[in-house]
Structure 1
Amino acid sequence: MKKIVGMLLTALLLNASDITVSNSLTLNEAIEILKSENLEIKTASLDVDSAKAEVQTASGNHWGKLDFVQDYANSNDAGNVFGFKLTSREANFNDFGFDEFLAQMGGLPGNSATLLATQPKNLNYPDARNFFQSKLKYEVPLFTGFQISSYVDIMESMTKMKKLEKKQVINEKIYQVRKSFYDMALLRNSTKNLNTILTNIDTLENMTEQMIEVGYAKKVDLLEVQAKKGNVQRLILQMESNQKLLYHYISFLLNQKVENISTTSASVSMPVFTNEDVLNNNLDIQRASTGLEVRKSMVDVSKSSYYPMVGAFAEAATADDTFLGSADDHKAYTVGARLTWNIFNGGIDEANVEKSRIQHIKTKTQVELAKKGIALKVAKIRTEIETYDAEIASLEKELALADEIYANYEGRYREKLTSMSDVIIKQSEQIQKILELQMAQNKRNERIFALEKLANGENK
């Protein structure tokens, strides 16, 4: 019996929260609060939002980018100064030293070699100049070998994956809430049965005291009754402590303090969905199938290396030695396109495609393995539930028999046909059957919840 009680005590472990729900909370109300307040579900929702943003990031590459660039420079470098003037459309002949050239034009023709060898000071030693250039530049990919669209498909599949993961978190938390409610119902039912036994012990204690007064019973009989009474009171206290632990755990799940819940049946009804329903709804299989979609898109990304990359650009700019000075007169534009096509890279592209193709085949095999694994789990759980159903039916009959036997031995003790030790033994057997029945019902409920989890929490 101690072993059974110990297993019951270690079945539930939990924490506490802040906001208080003082009214009697139903299971459906608890599930609704869970969906909106549970911190793990909120975290999973943020992961979904982040994945959606990744889709927008990947899709945005289709539209290219528009940049505004503002440059400022100051230099007396000959090449820079001449380039600055040329860019701002302000270069003149004097920049080439034509003033020095014309000043020597009156010389004799024989001096032409000397004239050509003259280094123009204005060109080689210009004054320092400021340079302001304002530029708008737009670049857009025209064809990327379906690379961008493949990345968008991957990000959309990853978003789908995050949504499935969120469903799994919700599914798991609902499972924990439901199990906690049914565990509470079992504890309350067992406590009720133990209180009934305690009432019987009180009656037996009063009867023993009366029989001692008239000499029909001994003091040791009373001590046996009182010892058994203390044992039952201890069990009731343990049951009540487990209920407090369950309240802490439910409060943790709902992210608010819960002080009272409403329970009905302690037994979960058997779901009626088929094995095919389980396979169609199972989240692990859906995630594996989504992973297969990702692998297929990765093959497409690898194949994009075989195609040329084509892009276009356009820019408009204005430049001056002051910010936006004579902007309209100094404006300029450039448009162009570029094609890049890798012809040979040592077979790396082919190797990458083959690697992606193998990963795709591997993932496809894993999807089939996941389906067979889930089917095996379903068959195992259904067999376990059938076993627990038979065990519970047997234990219910054994408990009914133990109740009758105890009542019979109590009557026989009054007639001094049996000892108090025999009565206590029969009562111990009665208590043990109650605890064994509770454990079997708890295991059956847990297996049914596990079956519902495999079917995405569907309870059809």
Structure 2
Amino acid sequence: MSLRSHKKTCAVLVILWMGTIAALPAAALDFNQCVDLALKQNPRMLAARARQAEAKGAVSEARGHLLPRLSAAFSASQSNNALTVFGMRLSQRQATFNDFGAGQFNPNNPAGLDIAPNELNHPGSYHNFGTKLQLEIPIWNGGAVWGRLRQMRAMLQAAQSGNRMARQKLVFAVLRAYDGVIAANAGISVAEKAKRAAESYVKTSRALLERGVLVKSDLLSAEVHLEKVELAVESAQDTRANALDTLATLIGWPESMTLTVAGPVQPALPAAPLIVLQRDAMTRNADIIALRHRAEAAQDGIHVARAAYLPHVNAMADQEWNGRTLGNAAPSYTIGGEVTWNILDFARGGGMDRARAQHEQAMAALQEAQGKLRVQVAQIWRKAREAALRVKMRTLAVAQMKEAQRLVRLRYEHGVETVTGLLHGQAELDRARAELVAARYAQAMDRAALLLAVGQLNPRAITGARPIFAIEGAP
């Protein structure tokens, strides 16, 4: 073998090896892994975390208004305004009697007091460099600052509750997509079982036709049934592809990687009575808790508006340095306090009315949400109980129809049953299997919806479940 041929052979082997590695299936993701991926990058969680961060910033801002504020300023100015120049000289402690025109004053001149001093009225151009430190100390502002702080803290708690609800809703969405893939896989299994049965019927019908037991129309009916089943298989595969696309979007799965899921999961059904679940929902549902905190924030808004009717007390302290040069400045300080009371202000009444109206709206929204949630919990609880009974009934129906179809097929193979009866029985069995898949999926969703309503939906409440078709053997 030549060197060139050897290189070509090695290159082909490398390409085949790389293709084999690329064709290996990716590791299947279980439900908890899907939830972890969704919580890290899903836009819903990013938005919820951003709202919580915004609320934290509002709390920090409100708390900052309780603390003293220190500011520094530097100024450089030049002017020939008589009042400004005189003020500059005073702040620099450079004022003299000549600034008042003392050199022009003559006590022997009767009109001396009426003479306009040139030094005072026309000082010429003068400049000043000023440095100032100012400390502002809020003492009491009618409770406005404390009320605003309580209001922002309540809004932060509402945002935190919203974050928890966003997490639970995202867990619900992931479960719906994840179980949708599981149900789609089960649907494909049902369709493939139906396809194998239909292929067997076509084969049997062809053999019976050759023996003269059947007519050709019976064979055509079996072939038409096979085509319908093949279409059902393709439809089930499309359903799985759609479910995988939904799940991939939720968890941010790369398009270049194949997504597969692990075993099925099943949410736990709360064992508490309905009245207990309704009471738990009122205290644990994150949406209700968020509305309750918003109502508290609206109540604090009334206190903020009432502060406009009360006096405000503040203190301040200034330290200044003024001079004609930066290194030679005269220091001075000012310390003082201020009490202001807005005695007459017609606008503040509107602010109080608006705050009270906002509180009433918040309370009305809370009461409405509590009533809807109480009804919702009752409805979902009943649906979840019905779903469990429906799964049990569908399971028994599948077992019964499977046995009935086995007997029909035996009669058909011996020529004592028509192809119409055989195909009708198989269609009923296929429909029963599909209804069992739908019932199990609905059961999982109803349980998850109940856990979400009572504020208990989390990955720990969702455990692995046995395969959907564990009760069945081969078709």
Q: Is the TM value for this pair above 0.5?
A: yes
> What are structure 2's unaligned runs of at least 5 residues?
1-24, 462-475
1:58 shift after superposition:
0.6
Within 2, Cα distance between the matches of 1:269 and 1:220?
51
Read off the aligned partner of 2:415 and give its amino acid letter.
Answer: K
Instruction: Tell me, in whole angstroms, the C-alpha distance in 1 between the residues paired with 2:145 and 2:264.
Output: 55
**1:337 pairs with 2:352:** no
Code of the residue aligned with 2:137 in structure 1: it is: V
Separation (CA, whole Å) in 2 of partners of 1:386 and 1:54: 45
Per the alignment, do residues 337 and 41 of structure 1 end up closer, same or farther by CA in structure 2, a change over 3 Å counting? same
Partner residue, 1:209: 206
Partner of 1:309: 312
Could you report, residue by residue, the CA deviation over 1:296-316 in whole angstroms, capped at 9, with x for unpaired residues?
211221232332100011101
Q: CA deviation at 1:154?
A: 0.7
CA distance in 2, matches of 1:66, 1:393: 73
Q: 2:228 aligns with which of 226, 231, 241?
A: 231
**1:320 correspondence with 2:323:** yes
- Is 1:199 equivalent to 2:192 in the alignment? no
How many Å apart are 1:357 and its aligned residue? 4.5
Partner of 2:398: 399
Task: Indicate how the Cα distance of structure 1 residues 227 and 246 shifts in structure 2: closer, same or farther if over 3 A, else same.
Answer: same
Deviation at 1:350, TM superposition (A): 5.9
Q: CA RMSD in A?
A: 2.3
Pair 1:279 & 2:278 matched:
no
In 2, the alpha carbon distance for the partners of 1:281 and 1:250 equals: 28
Kindly indicate whether residue 34 of structure 2 is the aligned counterpart of residue 35 of structure 1.
no
Indicate the SS of the match to 2:447.
helix
Q: Aligned match of 2:133 in 132, 136, 154? A: 136
Please, which of 145, 148, 157 is the counterpart of residue 148 of structure 1?
A: 145
2 CA distance for matches of 1:272 and 1:251?
A: 33
Partner Cα separation in structure 1 for residue 265 and residue 231 of structure 2: 23
Question: Which of 100, 103, 114 is the equivalent residue of 1:99?
Answer: 103
Distance 2:426 2:231 in 1: 15
Query: For 1:306-455, what aligned pairs fall within 5 Å after superposition?
Result: 306-322=309-325, 324-327=326-329, 330-346=330-346, 349=348, 352-353=351-352, 356-357=355-356, 359-360=358-359, 363-455=362-454
In structure 2, the residue matched to 1:52 is 56
The alpha-carbon deviation at position 265 of structure 1 amounts to: 4.0
- Identical-pair percentage: 21
Q: CA deviation at 1:214?
A: 2.3
Give secondary structure in 2 for the equivalent of 1:142.
strand
Asked whether the equivalents of residues 285 and 367 of structure 1 are also in contact (C-alpha less than 8 Å), the reply is yes
Separation in 2, partners of 1:262, 1:77: 83
Structure 1: distance between partners of 2:110 and 2:290: 84
Query: 2:159, 2:290 within 8 Å by CA — same for their partners in 1?
Result: no
- 3-state SS, counterpart of residue 70 of structure 1: strand
Note if contact 2:184-2:243 (Cα within 8 Å) is conserved in structure 1: no
Task: Please say if residues 158 and 291 of structure 2, whose CA atoms lie closer than 8 Å, have aligned partners that are also in contact.
Answer: no
Output the CA distance in 2 between the equivalents of 1:231 and 1:296: 65
Which consecutive residues of structure 1, in runs of 5 or more, have no partner in the other structure?
1-20
Distance change >3 Å, CA 121–CA 362, structure 1 → 2: closer
Aligned AA (1:281): R
Cα distance in 1, alignment partners of residues 120 and 443 from structure 2: 96
Cα distance in structure 2, aligned partners of 1:287 and 1:332: 53
Q: Distance in 1 between matches of 2:340 and 2:142?
A: 11
Alignment of structure 1 residues 171-190 onto 2, 5 Å? 171-190=168-187
What letter corresponds to residue 340 of structure 1 in structure 2?
A: T
Superposition deviation, residue 152 in structure 1 = 0.6
Q: 1:449 deviation in Å?
A: 1.6
How many Å apart are 1:26 and its aligned residue?
0.5
> For 1:300-355, what per-residue CA distance to the aligned partner results, in whole angstroms no more than 9, with x for missing partners?
21232332100011101111223x2422xx11111111101123435x65665465
Q: Provide the residue aligned with 2:89 in structure 1.
A: 85
Deviates further, 397-406 or 447-456 = 397-406
Determine whether 1:22 maps to 2:21.
no
| C-alpha contact 1:302 1:356 (8 A) present in aligned 2 | yes
Residues 299, 202 of structure 1: CA spacing in aligned structure 2 closer, same or farther, 3 A cutoff? Answer: same
Aligned-partner residue type, residue 374 of structure 1:
L
C-alpha change, 1:95 and 1:40, in structure 2 (3 Å) is same
Q: Contact conserved, 2:168 with 2:457, CA < 8 A, in 1? A: no
**How far apart are residue 359 of structure 1 and its match?**
4.5
Measure the CA separation in 2 of the matches of 1:442 and 1:408.
30
> Match of 1:326, as an amino acid?
N
Closer/same/farther in 2, CA of residues 397 and 148 from structure 1, 3 Å limit: same
CA distance in 2, matches of 1:267, 1:95: 94
Give the superposition deviation at 1:155: 0.7
TM-score (normalizing by structure 2): 0.84
Q: What residue is the counterpart of 1:219 in the other structure?
A: 216
| Matching residue's letter, 2:128 | F
- Cα deviation, 1:224-280, whole Å, max 9, x if unaligned, reads 222111211211111111111111111111112363434434754423354133332
Per-residue CA deviations over 1:93-146 (Å, capped at 9, x if unaligned) read 222222333xx56xxx4xx22333333222222221112211111112111121
1:39–1:255 CA contact under 8 A, matched in 2: no
Which secondary structure does the structure 2 equivalent of 1:133 belong to? strand
The 3 A distance-change label for structure 1 pair 209 and 336 is same
Q: CA deviation at 1:458?
A: 3.2
Residue pair 1:186, 1:266 contacting (<8 A) in 2 also: no
Q: Is 2:457 the partner of 1:458?
A: yes
Normalised TM-score (structure 1) = 0.86
Q: Quick one: higher RCO (CA 8 Å, sep 6+), 1 or 2?
A: 1
- The 3 A distance-change label for structure 1 pair 125 and 191 is same
